[in-house]
Structure 1
């Protein structure tokens, strides 16, 4: 017969760093839509924009990179242009799209939070309220 070890009075050992990270990564699916988008897709897009800005900062200078990003300076006016054009397009199209997507998610969540009742429930209540009131029931007791 094999001996079964007695359970430890302290309980199971605490989870390691790897198990905690795995649990945190799995918990992201339970986040609200905006937080999930921000952690999954938004973070990737923002990291790519930041990497492009840093690359341009080293190649054309930080002030020129900022001016190209916000559209003050044309990417044709800086050298090298091969890295300034993607930065300019990022500042012109990608950054407003990211901000618009984030605002859209926030607004959608706020609208959905205020939809407390279904349309059918509201219509049924309105129909019930529109019906004429029932006549009062005759009282069983006599008046003296």
Structure 2
């Protein structure tokens, strides 16, 4: 009687959902600067702004919350005022700061991709290329 050959050892089990999420979160440092900023700091600020808007939408109405956010209506004209003032400050200061930060990251990334070499290096290369060529090298067909 012969016995069956042993099965080859199985590899490690596939990673679970929790391990995959943890690996993705750890890989966030590999993102470009704008993506990293948006995922870490930008998401928190946008979440707070969104929460203020939803709170005000539920308390004072969605149209009034929008008008307070963009500055059409003064927060002193709506009731309750305690939630309208933070929304107004958010629309006045935080939203333009978020847009400015996002734009600066995008513009900086574009400038850095086109700014590959120093100006002095480019000028040195142009001077070297503009010099008169020397005599031709001797040929190897001697007597």
Q: Which bin holds the TM-score, normalised by the shorter protein? A: 0.7 to 0.9
Q: 1:126 to 1:57 in 2, by over 3 A?
A: same
After TM superposition, give the deviation of residue 118 of structure 1 in Å. Answer: 3.8
Tell me, in whole angstroms, the C-alpha distance in 1 between the residues paired with 2:140 and 2:60: 96
Secondary structure (helix, strand or coil) at the match of 2:117 reads coil
Name the structure 1 match of 2:79.
79
Question: C-alpha root-mean-square deviation of aligned residues, in Å?
Answer: 2.2
User: Where does residue 132 of structure 1 map in the other structure?
Assistant: 132
Aligned length: 136
Give 4+ residue runs of structure 1 displaced > 3 Å after superposition. Answer: 6-10, 118-121, 135-141
Residues 5-45 of structure 1 show CA distances to partners (whole Å, capped at 9, x for unaligned) of x9954421101111111100101000000000000000000
Deviation, structure 1 residue 47 = 0.2
Residues 9 and 140 (structure 1), Cα distance of their counterparts in 2 relative to 1, 3 Å cut? closer
Ranked by relative contact order (alpha carbons within 8 Å, sequence separation 6 or more), the top structure is 1
Which residue matches 2:121?
121
Q: How far 1:102 sits from its partner (Å)?
A: 0.5
Closer/same/farther in 2, CA of residues 65 and 130 from structure 1, 3 Å limit: same
Structure 1 range deviating more: 12-21 or 37-46: 12-21
Name the TM-score, length of structure 2 as normaliser: 0.85
* In structure 2, C-alpha distance between the alignment counterparts of 1:139 and 1:8, rounded to whole Å: 67
Give the TM-score, by structure 1 length: 0.84
Structure 1: gaps spanning 5 or more residues: 1-5
Is 2:43 the counterpart of 1:35? no
